[in-house]
Each structure stands twice: as structure tokens, then as C-alpha cells.
Structure 1
């Protein structure tokens, strides 16, 4: 059935291309014979702002590869979370659904081209979007990194998404190694719309109730104020198996967290004389809940008189996330454009845990705890200038950015070590201790130039240079050069080379999360230590250096007719000094750990320690192919196709030296078989996205075919291959009238499931949390929309 559906889409594509060949329109932009109504419905080539500071341009005519995801593609999905939607539309975008991974369950990280979440820069309206304060420290994809939480942005507020598939740190600064995702909010000419939707999985769980309102208010002098309000309630899913060691009961939660979100978004432009005031912002208040590991009745962490049947601790963070950007721009009489802006980003990740206890406090232990949390604050000031001078497009500017990262303690019972057990703290998520509290800040200043020179209509080049100073690690200087050759109207050839960097995050340098245990009458600690902690320093930790990169791209665009294009780009990205957490440094977990290192642990009453370090270098290489095709049928209907393919492979190319004090190699310290397999093969090696739409006045039919490539994980350090899978999404939209429509659809229509773990019947977790399309199976939904 899946192969049949894919074959049907290919047949439709071929049929459409044949129909186009029979059309009598001229090869390029033949609009002269069209009526005014037809001209108003003409879809021009997608514009993109990202990738150059000289203004919007045709995405297909750019010097670097840029994909544009349209509003209609974004909204032709039953999913209301942006991360899930993009995983179905962007080839090379990976969004697995971790479970039993503490905070990561509630804010899953994403990757692009197989590189880390913090190696992708996310913008809103061209302004940097802050990352979450959550550091992913468990064994998930993106372990040891921070990620932008895409699900804080209401889907209905977005006009389009621009994906720059090229290194761009020389233009935009830290993090833009794998590429850039620029989220463009709805602006001029948008229509107010209200939406309600309801969905449920094949298993009857994961119920989604969602409603939103996008309202646009025209202002004087062509200004606008757009506001989006969204409320959604998503039920938990659970794909855990029965526990053969606990009377075949389903006692574990393995699936999506239960979440409730209230989201707001604002986008405003107000022209005044020769100036334009603008601002945008978004806010998310999220309450989420998921399970930790089940504690069975006989577990030493249980008190049978309190939980005679065992218990499943519930972690339910409260997450506040918001951003606001405002500025003023204008044009001087000599044509010089200027833009001054201020951006503020904030994230608070506050952990709570209930249905649990602190075993060391005995029967008097509370069953609910405030475990503390993390905060991140980012402030950015930008001043940009640009001007066209003859064949030059010259742009430049300065940026000042200040960051603050905090860890704040939980209540005392959440971390205390009492007298009734050697295990301290709230089971499921022990609280941050007073010794873990952090309040770290830094600032950086950047100056940049971005110049494009057009030699002729068929030859142009872009040169960018950016210098930055960070007060915690020093200076960087990065450059980029891109060349565009257009030998004919049909063909474009492009190539680029650049250097880049990613500054170590404040969280990686300062994250501290330790617990206490009693060992032979002594109280000892264990856990994560910041690189400046005396214990970490004694064990060889040093100040983190920035990750540095070199990026190379070469590709082409072929556009023989105005409504058909195909592009292909090959890329190589080398990254040095990648940052990762060490393994657990102790005498019984790292073979050959020096006696001196063990004496340091003993002298500091530490059972074992983890800290972050610059560990190794990698090379990621692959290619992207994209095809877009649109055409009109004689009946007045339209067909649209977007086909994208990505293949990315990452390999470790060099290991740095481990600290000599430990007496072990970097393989022993950091790159064990689990880490190596996860880094190099833990994500799909390739992916296919094939989006298709049949559009009429009465209804629209969308079919989206996805292929998620094979990946690997380990079971007791043995690599296990999980095969590639196909999924099919479909949606029917009925236009009752110009204002009102109803949609029904399915994500993963044929209920495709990832391969299970071998011998999964022996364990309650049947599927890998690395599965790129999750493990919930089919999801069915209905949506009603009213435009006004």
C-alpha cells in the first residue's frame, strides 16, 4: 500500500509534466494574455531575506542554497507543533521524540544535516532567537547541547520559513554552522482567521485539542498590527510494554508528554514619515508532564507502606519562554538604509516532580517537590547599514550581545539526604542543591561586512567578514566567499567557502547538578561539575574553546520554465574542538583511571564526576536535491509538487588528547561505542519529502510522502540497525464558502512503526527514542477554519 501510494504520486507528477508540455504559454513568464483576475492569482518565485543583508531576493537566484517553506505547506498538517511539522517538510531536519529523558521529554531538540541543535541558528524576522535554558544531558540526540524550542511559536502566525543550507557564521555569528532557519511572521495583506482542531492517535491516546486566532489590524500609512493567540491541550501517548517482572502490568510511561500551552505572537510595523517602527514577539506558557522510570515495590528506593505497588515518578516542568524585538529603520537621501534594533529573549525551565518520595526522609517524606530549575536571558543590540553603489551592494553593522545563565535551587526536601536511606533527593528528579546555584554572564561585541558585487548579469560574488570578541574566551575572525555563475536563463551554478564558529554556551561551561549519597558512613557527592569547579579543575577540566568550522558548498539550479525548477548542492562541513560531556569519571566506570585521579575524587568526597570539554573533530558531508513544480489544469484546478532529498554522513576525524591527570585516552573518557554510534549513525542517513497538492475551488487534496532513512543505536554497546521507513500523510480540505473550510486528515495514514528493539519482549521499552518520526503510529484529525 505504501509503495502504491508513492507510485501514484510519481504518476501524478509525470502526468502533470506531460500536461504542461501541451500548454501553449511561452517558456518564460507569459502573462500578457492573462486576465486581471488571473494575474492576481499568479504565484511568483519565493523570496528570501536570509543569507544576505542586501534585502529580499529570489530564493532560486541566490548565491547559496535556500529553501522556502510556504504558509500553505505549514498549515496542511494535523500537527500543531512547529517541530513536528518541519520534520515532515524539510529534508535533513530530524526531530525524534525522546522519552524517559527528564527535561528533554518536554522540549525535544532538533537537528539539521545531522549536526547538533546548537549548530543551527534560528531567526525570527531576521533577528536571533534565543535558545532554551535546558541542557540536554541524557543520552538523547543532541546530548550535551542546547536547542531552540520551536514549539513556542504559534503555527498560524507564520508566513513562511526560509532554510539556509550553508555555513553563515561570517554573516550572523555563533551557531550558524549547519545553516539557518529564519521564521518570517505574517505581515502586510494577511487575512484574519480562527481555527479549531481535534486529533487522536490510532491507539486512542495523544488527544489534541487546539484553537487559535490570528487577527490583523490595519494601521495608518500602510502599517499593520498582527496578533496570534493559541491554546492547545495535548494528551500523553504511551507505547510502553507490559512489565513481565511486575505481573505484566504497564507500569512505565514511554511516549509523548502531556502538555498544555498558551501561546501569543505579535508582529507590528508602523510607518511614520520616512521611518518605520517595527516590533515582534512571542510568548509561551507551557505545563507539561511525563514519567521517569518505574520504581517497583521491592526497589530500595521505595517505601512499601507508602507505595505497596511501586510508583512512577511524574516530572512536570513549568516552562516560560518569550522573546521581544523592536526597532526603527529608514532610508537617507543618499540611499543609505539603516536599521537599529533591540532583542530580548527569556526562558525559565522550572522542574516539579510528584507521585514520588525522598526515600532518605522515610515515611515523613513529601510526595511532591519543587526541584528548582534553570533560566536564560539574552539581550542583543544591532545596528545595520546597507547601500547599493553602482554594481556593489554593501552592508555592514555592529552587534552587542549579553547573556545570563542561572541555576536556582529546589526546596530542601527535593535534595536532602536524610537518615533512612543512602539515596538522597526526590526520586525521578532530585532538586538542584544550594551548591549547584549558578549566576553566570558574558557579553560579546561583533562588527561585520557583507558585500555583493555583480560583474555582469551572469556573474556575481559575495564576500563577508565578521570579527567578534567574547569576554570569556577572546576573539574570532570568520570569512565567507560565494560565487554565482548564470551561463543562461535556465542554469545557475553556485559555490561557497566559509569559516565559522560556535561559542561554548554558558550552560556547557557552568552546568552543575550533583547529588549526595552515604558511603561507608561518609557523605559523598556525584554528578556534573562546571569547568571552573575545583573538582573539575583538579581532574583536568579547562576553559572551553569555541568550536570552529570550515564549510564548502557547490551546486546548481535548473529552471527551464517559470513553474518548474530543480536544484542540487553538495556540501562538506568540518568542525574542530566539538564540545561534549565526559563519561562518568570514577575508578569503577573508566578502566585504567590513574591512581592520582582516584585520590582526587577521594580527597574531595566525590564518587564520580562529569564535566564538558573540547573532545574531537568531525566531518559531515552530503548533498541536497530539491524539485518544485506547479501547473494549471484545463478544468481550472492546480497541481503543486515539492520533492526534496537529503543525505548526510558524519564521521569523527580526530580525537583531542585527554587530560594527562586521568591517565586514559579520549576514547575511554568520552567516545565509547554508544557515543560513537549515536554521533555518527544515530540519525537517519537520508530523507525524502514529497509534498503534493491538488487545488480546486471546492476542495484541496494534499498528499505528503516521507522516507526516513536507516539509523543505528546500541544495546549493551552492540550496534543495532533500524531500517528506513516510509510514511504517508494526507488531508482533504472542503471549502464551504470563501470564508469557511473544514479539513480531515491523517498523519502516518498507514500506521507505519519503527523497528522494535531486538528481544524487546524482555523490556517495557519496545522502540528506540531515536526513531525520527516517533513511535505513536497513525494520527487522525479534523480542523475547522473561518476567515474574516
Structure 2
């Protein structure tokens, strides 16, 4: 009986086995590229069951699987990837062929060309491609500026402190050049500049840049950085290069990313481990199809909030002066004991400001017919930041003790509004690809001063003031034509035009934010006697501080508003025409030619050109180079910004501050009207692909003539040299005591070297990616300073030592990073080391120009795929809590308050940041 049962069991098992075999399907096919070349050693993965195989030398593969639905993933040795869903349903055999493009979003370049996209290594000019989706998953950074600062060595930006509105915009640098020499595009369309002019003590002083922090990370697919001059292609500002931000276009995929973290740090400003700077960011993205022909609309939203940090030291100066004896004795210690306060309570808060950001974006595309498509994209945002200013001490002319018995620390609140939208149409007209588009953009800075007062109002002073607004508006119309002509191997032609309108406004604040109510004027009484009555436009001080001598200060402390004298509403128009030609003489030799004419109604016209070439010496080696001329138009902000206050000197009131170039004082001193900066650039390099190694190496040189600078204050001296006496006389004639301007003052040269190495391979059951990149760049002022005739012996004011340091040495001249990513099954391990070169303190006194040594910063993260739709990442930026070198010169520390320099841009001084991220993909 047992044998019969056993025999029946064997028959049953055999039958089931045969049945299973009959349910198996043989899947086979070929993997090739879009040139019909077979790809060998391509990895083939079946996501549902973990099965994997490889293609053979003929690009063929095969495997057997049972009925069901499967996702097949193909990854080539070059790391190109494609996937496809297949269904198996009682089929004996199924043929599935895969065609992979020779370029994918990970290595295709669209920036710097109006012809077809090129592979990264075949571009005649150097381009970095940053996959923001991957960076946003692994990195601690949650803003565009900070992601690029740690990924692209040629790019620099650090969080600012005590820089007013600059605290929110974080000026950027490409190849060591200033923010206004970098052009930013969104989907290939020019992005508007910030309304804010950087006039505080930060990198980029005197320049206007583009605010990358206004663009939500959740909306970005990738960023392409063209590290080559491109003014001949894209117009003004593209002297150092172009940053092109490509928005997402995915559909039927929902992504939610939540990141939270804080700084856990022990530093030399505080002798204990502190926790501050807590932040949370929420990013969302979802796209829906608009029709069956590839139309889509993709929506993104971002919300983030960060708390402030404080790395300031303890103030060691005078806090309280007693004027009872008429002299002014330091009674700080007695005052602290009486009020039960400490010196820390009166010290600066130095670190990142408190901030709240919310942004939404969309990217849409709709085919109307085979030859006609419309598209649109836009970004809208609101940000609010509150930053502390310098402390006003109790018994000074800047304080009213009945309002603030212990003095006060003013706060500057900035609200930023951004709005932009582009609408365009693409079609085919007489064999040409035609595109017409309109791009609108606007940036508004609303300034508010809080926890402060106007001392000249005395006890009646409010403590909050509206300081006015800065507004910049830009409207651009583009008309572009392009086509491919089968001449020689391949010829691409493009031509078109651009109209641009720009408007810059300074809108005055409320009167109490700028007025000085401690002033008066003389009037004649009916009886013939003379009386002094209050008048904010008067020139006689009538109220004095505790010392009885110093006139009370006017305007809001820590954030004086714009007065009617500062307000402006200026605009300009520009027209441009361009032509590009890309000639492929054969598969090895490529030449790009570009020319551009631009006319500005406020300073004239300019013509620029560019030549770029690439030659393939062998299948694994290319050489490339370019030469171009370029320009940068003076911004409306540089032409029309003014910010003046009043100063009481020897019984008279004088204007002190920044004057426009068309002001009376500028004319009398011979300051010329601004003109465009002119540039010449050359670069040469090589690219190579050897096995799994990708290598690029490029050297560059850029000369800029007539660079616009922000001068120091001219004052003159009635008892000085003949020149000083003349300057003093002219300033008095113009009603000014000290004056500064914008001027085309210097010539500069920038030279450097970029290198990028990447390697990937399989290690065990996983894959490892190794990237090494570096930049060495040096910018220096060359030749003589271009002063006006009246100021020829005032070069040290026209372009001071500190201004020279801001230009040459406050951003690292060397940056390197090496990153390693290891992906195995559900785990992704990431580690990166960044090297930030040394920087120098900007000071007019040579002995105070302290050099701060280089530093290495380590980032790391670990990601685990919990389910198909959820990933968790934990990690740290600055894992080992590295800080910049401390300020060692007392003159630079502001009585011990600046433990780390606030003027240089190395990598910041907040210390270790730890974070956790949840990433949902549905």
C-alpha cells in the first residue's frame, strides 16, 4: 500500500512539475542603442523576483519566467538605464527588444547648443549635469544654492549673516567670478535678477545676481552648468557661464519628500554642545497627462521653515557709559550687576537667520497637432526672514531708555515675493523649427524693521517701521528658428531675436522710518527775533543724546527706510539678434559658430562672437576648445540705486551714502556714467572614456575690462592736500559729506582648471559609483585703476584693499570633492568629502588681512527602501563638526563677537547638521 501511495505521489509531483514547465515562458530579445549597435554585458534585472542575467557579445539575452506581470530593467555598462513592463500569459515564447539612446537624462547636454542634444563627453564646451532627484534623496542640503555648493566645485555659495536681505539670497560664484557674471535659465529661458543690490559686507558686494533659493527643489529634474563664457549665445551676464535648470515633466507619479534636521554642534563660540537651526522641508510633485499625444502638466510645491543659529562670541566692549560727570565713564560691570544681566545678553547674534519659504511651480506641454505644440511653466513664491542687527546699548544716542531700559537688538524682517511665467509655441514653418515665447518675471523685497525705534522721536517712537520696497520686473519675447541641413555630415543652423524690458523701482517707506525729527530750522518772529522750530528738513540739531553733544539719530535703527530722495522708477529696453551654426564635418570634427548683436537704449550696442570646436582623436579621446568675446550690461540697480542719510558736521547737515552716477555730486567729481563690461575668454580641454572611466579636463582664461565696482566713501579734508581740499569743497557744494558710487573702475583676469573623473562598476551584489571633481581658479585685478581726473590720487578709495579682497580672495580658489555611492539591493550608502581652499579677511589694513586655512568637510547618508513606495534616509552634513579657522586678530572680531569671519565665503560656520528624510513615490 505504501508503495502504491508512493508511486501515486511521484506521479502527482511529476505532473505538477510538467504543468509548471508548461506554464513557463521563454523571454528573449536584443539590446541595442539607437544607432542599431548591439550592447554586450548589459545587466538585465526582473524587479519582482530578483532574477538577473546579461546580454552576450551579440547583445542577445534570454530567460524563462512563469505567468504574471513584470518590470524588466536594463542597465548598460555605461550606466544608461531603461525599463519596461511586460505581461506573460501562457505564451511559449515572447520577444522583447530594447533600444537605448546613446544619451539619457543623466548624460545628455542641451545647454550651450541650439542644435540637437549632445552627449556629455562630446560637447565642445564643459558642462556639469546635476541629477537633482538623486541629490535631493541623498544630500543634507535642501536649497539649490547649497546643493550646488557641495556638488559642483566650480560653484560657490554660503549662507550669509548680518548681511541684510543678502542673508536670504546667498550670492553665488562660478569659477570664482562675481554673481552678476552668471546667467541663470529655467528650461532654457532667461531668469530675472533679484531686486536686491548687495551693498553690505559680503561676497559679491556691489553686484546683483539671480536668487536660486527662489526655485523649489521638488520642481527640478536636473541642473546643467555650462562652465564657459556664453554671452555671444545668451547675452548679458553669461561671462562666467550658464546655469540651466530643467523642470520635471513626469506624469502619473506622486512624490512626497519630508526632510527634518538640526545642528548638533560644539564650537568655539559656545563651550557646550548646542542644538539649534532646526528645519523642516516638505516637497511635493505630481504630473498628469493632458492628452494621448504626450501632453502633460507637472505640479510642484515646497514649504520649509528654519530656525536661526548663533555662533557669535561674547561682547567685551563698553555696554554702559555714565555721563553724570560730563566725561562718560565705563560703568558696564556695575550696570550688569544692577540689572542681573550678562555680557552674552548684549552680544551679536551671528548665524543663519530665521526663515519661512513657500513655493509652487508648474511645467506644462500640449501637442496641438503633429507640427504644433504649446508649453508653459512658472514659479511663484513667498519667503520671509528675520535677522538680528547690531545691539544698541542702553545709554547711547541710539536708544530711548524709557522704551528699552536695557537697550535693544534691532531686527530686520524681509518679505520676498517672486512670480514668473513663460508661455510659448513651437511649430514648423517652411521647413524651419520656429519657436516664439514670452517670459515674465518679478522680484519684490519688502523691508520692515522690528524691535527698534527712531531715537529722534523720543518716547513717542513706534517700535516697528515699514522701510519701503525694492522691485525688479522683466519681460522677454523670444523668436527662434532652427533646422538641420544634410550638408557634409551634418549642419545645424539657428537664428532669432529677443526683446527685453526691465524696470527697477525703489518705493519709499513710511516717514518715521527715515526722517530725523531732532532737526530744526530758524524762523523770523514778528517781533524780529529768531526762533528755532522742529523741521525734518532742517539743518540745526535740537535734541541731543545722553552726552549732551551728539545729536539724536534719525530713522529706524538697524533698518532705516528709503526716503523720497532715494525713490526711483526707471526702465530700459534692449533688442538682440543672433545666429548660430553647428557644422559636423564628419563624425570626428565639430565646429560651433555663434554671433550676437545687442542694443540697449541706455548705453548703446555691442557685438560678440564665439567659436567652439571638438575633435575626436580616437573613439576614447576628444579634444575641445573655445574662444569668445562677451559683455555684461550694467544693471538698473547699479545705475539707479541710492541710499543716503544725514550727518551733522560742524553745525551743518550733509548727505552721506550712495549716490547715483547722474547725481550732482557724481558730476562734480567727474564720475562717468556706467558702460558695459567687456570680456574675452578662451578655454581648451580634453574628454576621454576608457572602459568605465569618464574623464574631462579643461583650462580657461577670462579677461574683463571696465568691471563695475562699488567704491568706498570719498570725504576729502579741509586741512589736507590740495586734492583733499578740492574734494571737500565739491562735496560741500553738492550738500554731501561722504559719497560713494558705482564706477567702471578695474580690469580683471580669471584663470583656472576644471577636472572631472567618474567611475562605476559592480561590486558584489551591488554597484559602486565614484566621482572626483575639482576646480582651481584665480581672479585678480590687473592694470591701473580707472579713476576720474579729480580723483586720480584716490585709487585706495576708488578700489580699496578690502574691495580687492572681495574680488580675489573671499571665495576659495580651490575646491575639490570626492563622492562614493554604493547601491546594494534595498540599501544606498553615500559618502562625500569636500575640500574648501583658504580665504582671506577683506580689510583695508594689510596687517588685518588674516588668512583662513583650507578645510575638509565630510557628508554621509544611508538610504533604505522600506517598500516600493517608501525610502528612509538618515545622514549628516559636516559629520565631523569642522569649523573654519577662528578670527585671530582682535580688530576683526568686533570686541570678541566674531569668533569666525562673517565676510568670507568658505563653507559657513554652523557646524554639524544631522537629518532624516522620508521619500514617498506612488
Give the conservation status (yes or no) of the 8 Å contact 2:411–2:450.
yes
Q: Give the Å deviation of 1:401.
A: 0.3
- In structure 1, what is the equivalent of residue 119 of structure 2? 58
| Change in 2 beyond 3 A, CA 1:460/1:590 | farther
SS for the counterpart of 1:39 is strand
Q: Give the Å deviation of 1:32.
A: 1.3
Give the conservation status (yes or no) of the 8 Å contact 1:594–1:662.
no
Of 846, 853, 864, 1:734 maps to 864
Instruction: Encode CA deviations 1:186-233: one digit per residue, 9 max, x unaligned.
Output: 114573201111110013111101112111111202111111111111
- In structure 2, what is the equivalent of residue 249 of structure 1? 344
- In structure 2, what is the equivalent of residue 506 of structure 1? 636
1:298 aligns with 2:360: no
Q: Give the Å deviation of 1:448.
A: 0.3
| Change in 2 beyond 3 A, CA 1:122/1:401 | same
| Change in 2 beyond 3 A, CA 1:589/1:731 | farther
Give the conservation status (yes or no) of the 8 Å contact 1:378–1:403.
yes
CA distance in structure 2 between the partners assigned to 1:518 and 1:357 by the alignment: 20
Q: Give the Å deviation of 1:108.
A: 1.3
Give the conservation status (yes or no) of the 8 Å contact 1:754–1:771.
no
Instruction: Encode CA deviations 1:705-728: one digit per residue, 9 max, x unaligned.
Output: 100011111454422110100011
- In structure 2, what is the equivalent of residue 13 of structure 1? none
- In structure 2, what is the equivalent of residue 693 of structure 1? 821
CA distance in structure 1 between the partners assigned to 2:682 and 2:720 by the alignment: 40
Q: Give the Å deviation of 1:536.
A: 1.7
CA distance in structure 2 between the partners assigned to 1:218 and 1:88 by the alignment: 35
Of 24-33 and 531-540, deviating more is: 24-33
Give the conservation status (yes or no) of the 8 Å contact 2:135–2:147.
no
Give the conservation status (yes or no) of the 8 Å contact 1:614–1:656.
no
| Change in 2 beyond 3 A, CA 1:33/1:689 | farther
Matches within 5 A, 1:576-615: 576-587=705-716, 593-615=723-745
Matches within 5 A, 1:151-190: 151-188=213-250
Instruction: Encode CA deviations 1:259-306: one digit per residue, 9 max, x unaligned.
Output: 001111111111111211111111110010101111122332122232
1:80 aligns with 2:142: yes
SS for the counterpart of 2:857 is strand
TM (norm. structure 2) is: 0.80
- In structure 2, what is the equivalent of residue 4 of structure 1? none
Instruction: Encode CA deviations 1:56-93: one digit per residue, 9 max, x unaligned.
Output: 22121111111111131343212211111110001121
Of 109, 112, 116, 1:48 maps to 109
Give the conservation status (yes or no) of the 8 Å contact 2:810–2:905.
no
Give the conservation status (yes or no) of the 8 Å contact 2:182–2:239.
yes
CA distance in structure 2 between the partners assigned to 1:34 and 1:609 by the alignment: 76
Instruction: Encode CA deviations 1:434-467: one digit per residue, 9 max, x unaligned.
Output: 0111111001000001101111111111110000
| Change in 2 beyond 3 A, CA 1:129/1:29 | farther
1:370 aligns with 2:466: yes
Give the conservation status (yes or no) of the 8 Å contact 1:346–1:377.
yes
Give the conservation status (yes or no) of the 8 Å contact 1:423–1:516.
no
Unaligned stretches of 5+ residues in structure 1: 1-22
| Change in 2 beyond 3 A, CA 1:74/1:167 | farther
Give the conservation status (yes or no) of the 8 Å contact 2:719–2:725.
no
- In structure 2, what is the equivalent of residue 37 of structure 1? 72
Higher relative contact order (CA 8 A, sep 6+): 1
- In structure 1, what is the equivalent of residue 383 of structure 2? 286
1:134 aligns with 2:196: yes
Unaligned stretches of 5+ residues in structure 2: 1-39, 44-53, 63-70, 82-102, 265-273, 320-341, 519-542, 544-550
Of 750, 765, 772, 2:906 maps to 772
Quote the RMSD (CA, aligned, Å).
Answer: 2.1
Task: Give aligned pairs, total.
Answer: 762
Of 392, 395, 409, 2:508 maps to 409
Q: Give the Å deviation of 1:651.
A: 1.3
- In structure 2, what is the equivalent of residue 5 of structure 1? none
- In structure 1, what is the equivalent of residue 278 of structure 2? 207
- In structure 1, what is the equivalent of residue 597 of structure 2? 467
TM (norm. structure 1) is: 0.94
Find the structure with the greater CA-based Rg.
2
| Change in 2 beyond 3 A, CA 1:759/1:535 | closer
Matches within 5 A, 1:308-387: 308-332=405-429, 334=431, 336-387=432-483
SS for the counterpart of 1:776 is coil
Give the conservation status (yes or no) of the 8 Å contact 1:402–1:441.
yes
CA distance in structure 2 between the partners assigned to 1:650 and 1:120 by the alignment: 15
Matches within 5 A, 1:618-697: 618-635=748-765, 637-665=766-794, 667-697=795-825
CA distance in structure 2 between the partners assigned to 1:590 and 1:484 by the alignment: 64
SS for the counterpart of 2:440 is strand
Of 807, 825, 831, 1:703 maps to 831
Of 50-59 and 24-33, deviating more is: 24-33
CA distance in structure 2 between the partners assigned to 1:322 and 1:110 by the alignment: 21
CA distance in structure 2 between the partners assigned to 1:714 and 1:87 by the alignment: 22
| Change in 2 beyond 3 A, CA 1:763/1:37 | same
CA distance in structure 2 between the partners assigned to 1:370 and 1:266 by the alignment: 33
SS for the counterpart of 1:456 is coil
Give the conservation status (yes or no) of the 8 Å contact 1:122–1:182.
yes
Q: Give the Å deviation of 1:55.
A: 3.1
CA distance in structure 1 between the partners assigned to 2:56 and 2:263 by the alignment: 45
CA distance in structure 2 between the partners assigned to 1:407 and 1:591 by the alignment: 37
Q: Give the Å deviation of 1:349.
A: 0.6
SS for the counterpart of 1:598 is helix
Instruction: Encode CA deviations 1:144-166: one digit per residue, 9 max, x unaligned.
Output: 00111111111111111101011
Instruction: Encode CA deviations 1:154-186: one digit per residue, 9 max, x unaligned.
Output: 111111110101110000000000000000011
Q: Give the Å deviation of 1:590.
A: 12
Of 148-157 and 92-101, deviating more is: 92-101
Instruction: Encode CA deviations 1:362-388: one digit per residue, 9 max, x unaligned.
Output: 111111101112100000000111111
Matches within 5 A, 1:716-731: 716-718=845-847, 719-731=849-861
CA distance in structure 1 between the partners assigned to 2:745 and 2:793 by the alignment: 13
Instruction: Encode CA deviations 1:384-441: one digit per residue, 9 max, x unaligned.
Output: 1111112211011100000000001010000011123342211101110001111110
CA distance in structure 1 between the partners assigned to 2:212 and 2:381 by the alignment: 11
| Change in 2 beyond 3 A, CA 1:293/1:31 | farther
| Change in 2 beyond 3 A, CA 1:526/1:387 | same
